[in-house]
Structure 1
Amino acid sequence: MTNFWDTVLNFAETTTARIGTKLLEDFGRLQPTLKSDGSLVTSADKWADEEIRNGILDTFPSHDILSEEGEHVFSGAEWCWVIDPIDGTTNFTRGIPIWGISLGLLYQGTPIFGYVHFPNINQSFHGYWHGASSSDAENGAFMNKRPIHTSSDSPSQNQFFNVCARSTAVLQKPVPCKIRMLGVTTYNFLSVATGAALGGVESTPKVWDLAAVWAIVQAAGGVLVPLTEGSVFPLQEGENYGDRSYPTLVSSRAELVPVFKPLVEYLGEKR
């Protein structure tokens, strides 16, 4: 019998690869429209969203689905996929090659598996976090199927800290690392998982920005710290997550949280 987690990984890998191949044909060629929250969307986002949702319904008919372009209310289902068909739509429309397809699998409202595929740069990340509590999956994080782990280095001007466009006020304080702005929430956080950066912050991520990387980053040894009261996960039954943002700090290890958190606490205060 095929292992459940083998099925999950194979589905995520083949689905994102197939969709990524089609999206590469549209890369840098589509005109976006503006959504009510000010973010961009294209016909490619909507097509990819429908393709992923249909694939989940065919392969995992008992699983629920939340997606940026579709359903936003959590039903309370035991298993739920949270998908972002194109994370980094602005990069995608402007011809900047860092953008990805993100799939997170929640068990009882908390992410325990994540998969993010970046077609242009040929990088695919996946990870299992606390999966052993619900199956035989072992914790672990991978890029292109090779194990990854966060860095044990100390902050310095030879290390990176990632920011988003809405968190640039961090530059008003001395930052113990070089700053990078990548324009994609998942890649921002996954670069910490690989050890490329020591930390990062996102001011307005939604649950579909966080679900996949929540599992991968922690499996790689990293720490995600909400900057507002309460935790992002587990999701609550009946809640609409369409307009909720969760300012989040990511750190390569717990010891660096006191170093980075004072730089970005203002993001939580703005909520």
Structure 2
Amino acid sequence: MAWKPEMIAEVLHECGRLALDIQQSAKRRIKADNTIVTEADTRIEALIRQRLEEKDANNSPDSQGELFFIGEETSSEHGETYHRQALQGRCYVTDPVDGTVLYSNGLPGWGISLGYMEKGRLAEGAILYPFSGELLLSSGDTVLYGRSGKNRFPEFHQLRELKAPDPRASSPVLTVSQTIVKHGRYDGPLSVLSTGSCVSSMRNLALGGSVGYLTRTRLWDLAAGFPILHKLGLKAFTQDGHEFPLEISDEFWNIPPVERRHHWRMKQHVLFCSHEQVFRDVMAHSRIP
């Protein structure tokens, strides 16, 4: 396996320092889908790929075939053959800056997300939150967590095992995506929060800061957070009640070739939550577009 937790932490630290160093000066533009992209997004994605390819080459005895990359900023450059091959082999999936609007406006809540899948199944994940100095990192069946404070990153040896959140002690909060805020509705008893980034919403759920996260997003947004939540024993259900699997398939995902605006997008909204009763309660009070 190409996933070596200490090496992953090292790569994310370098990316986090770059993100902070250029945050005030990073140029930004509006993409065709009307979302913001900054110089940091493109430079960090390129740096992640460069470092992981270097380290994979240096560990060639452990390598098992080509190493693939699916990233938010470069996914559209690859054709159907590349994407299908990525689902058959070893593949890193990254969102170099999840929460670009937050990042580009100097606000907290953004993060650097790196997931890993083998043979089409999400297996490992790591998320660095440079603003708050937090790191979530999976290692086998374990999730590691550390916090060093604003603009400082925990070293690998400082990380400690994160235990599954106690549903009875979790905050009565439901985090939702921008789609729900703009076009949907929730009128149940839970407080509602839209954080502006998938990584922030998944962090809240992992640490007991919420009981659920309702979203319909893209592969790179949750490729790190989903394996982390799964290892903590949390569940995921599609809006029609099916369990949402770690396996990436046409049943649940818009896999290229499809219209570009749908590339790697979930086919349904999904609720990540502590148990099935939360799903039933949330769905009973939700109108999903």
**TM-score, normalised to structure 1's length?**
0.82
Q: How has the CA–CA distance of structure 1 residues 230 and 219 changed in structure 2, closer, same or farther, with 3 Å as cutoff?
A: closer
Which residue number corresponds to residue 202 of structure 1? Answer: 215
Post-superposition CA distance 1:201-252 (Å, at most 9, x none): 123x100001111100111121122337895752359942862422321112
In the alignment, structure 1 residue 235 sits paired with structure 2 residue 239? no
Maintained 8 Å contact 2:70/2:92: yes
Which residue number corresponds to residue 144 of structure 2? Answer: 142
1:169 shift after superposition: 6.3
In the alignment, structure 1 residue 167 sits paired with structure 2 residue 187? no
In the alignment, structure 1 residue 218 sits paired with structure 2 residue 230? yes
Q: How has the CA–CA distance of structure 1 residues 258 and 80 changed in structure 2, closer, same or farther, with 3 Å as cutoff?
A: same
1:35 shift after superposition: 1.4
- Matched residue SS, 1:126: strand
Counterparts of 1:68 and 1:127, CA distance in 2: 21
**Which amino acid in the other structure matches residue 39 of structure 2?**
S
In the alignment, structure 1 residue 97 sits paired with structure 2 residue 113? no
RMSD: 2.7
Q: Gaps spanning 5+ residues in structure 1: where?
A: 129-136
In the alignment, structure 1 residue 245 sits paired with structure 2 residue 265? yes
Counterparts of 1:160 and 1:173, CA distance in 2: 12
Q: How has the CA–CA distance of structure 1 residues 159 and 262 changed in structure 2, closer, same or farther, with 3 Å as cutoff?
A: same
% identity of equivalent residues? 18
Maintained 8 Å contact 1:194/1:220: no
1:65 shift after superposition: 1.0
Post-superposition CA distance 1:87-115 (Å, at most 9, x none): 01000001102211111010211111000
Post-superposition CA distance 1:118-168 (Å, at most 9, x none): 01101100225xxxxxxxx3x12232123131232278xx62111222212
Q: How has the CA–CA distance of structure 1 residues 74 and 233 changed in structure 2, closer, same or farther, with 3 Å as cutoff?
A: farther
Please give the residue correspondences for 1:34-53 in structure 2 after superposition, counting only pairs within 5 Å.
34-53=30-49
Maintained 8 Å contact 1:227/1:248: yes
Q: How has the CA–CA distance of structure 1 residues 123 and 257 changed in structure 2, closer, same or farther, with 3 Å as cutoff?
A: same
Counterparts of 2:91 and 2:264, CA distance in 1: 18
Counterparts of 1:114 and 1:102, CA distance in 2: 8
Please say which of residues 207-216 and 34-43 is displaced more in the overlay. Answer: 34-43
Which residue number corresponds to residue 133 of structure 1? Answer: none
Which residue number corresponds to residue 67 of structure 1? Answer: 71
1:43 shift after superposition: 1.1
- Matched residue SS, 2:75: coil
Q: How has the CA–CA distance of structure 1 residues 99 and 253 changed in structure 2, closer, same or farther, with 3 Å as cutoff?
A: same
Maintained 8 Å contact 1:222/1:254: no
Q: Gaps spanning 5+ residues in structure 2: where?
A: 58-65, 77-82, 147-158
**TM-score, normalised to structure 2's length?**
0.78
Size of the aligned set, in residue pairs, is: 251
Please say which of residues 168-177 and 70-79 is displaced more in the overlay. Answer: 168-177
